[in-house]
Amino acid sequence: MDRKEMAMLGFEIVAYAGDARSKLMDALKSAQAGDFDKAEDLIDQANEYILKAHKAQTDLLVKEASNDDLEFSITLVHGQDHLMTTVLLKDLMQHLLEMYRRTEK
């Protein structure tokens, strides 16, 4: 895998992670407004994007495990960073959603 392919993989991960992050932030706004069904739907949509990003990441890990010569790409590192923070946001979102549910009662 050359540097260009590695950068494209990084952009793919950034895009999927960014889409997931947007859905999660929209879910937070929905929860703040008391629309928990919409918030849950948006979290489900975010999970789909996260799965796509993980697939791209897993493809890369398989190539590395097969001893493919992989070029370093700061774009890929950037993508990994976006994915990691988005997964953290997703984990926190469940707790925030529950907090808003409790304050609604």
How far are the Cα atoms of 3, 14, 44, 45, 71 from residue 6, in angstroms, in the given order?
A: 5, 12, 28, 26, 7
* Given the residues 54, 78, 82, 95, the one annotated as active site: 78
Amino acid at 98: E
Contact criterion met (CB below 8 Å) for 42 and 23:
yes
Q: Is 95 tagged catalytic? A: no
Q: What are the residue numbers of the active site?
A: 78
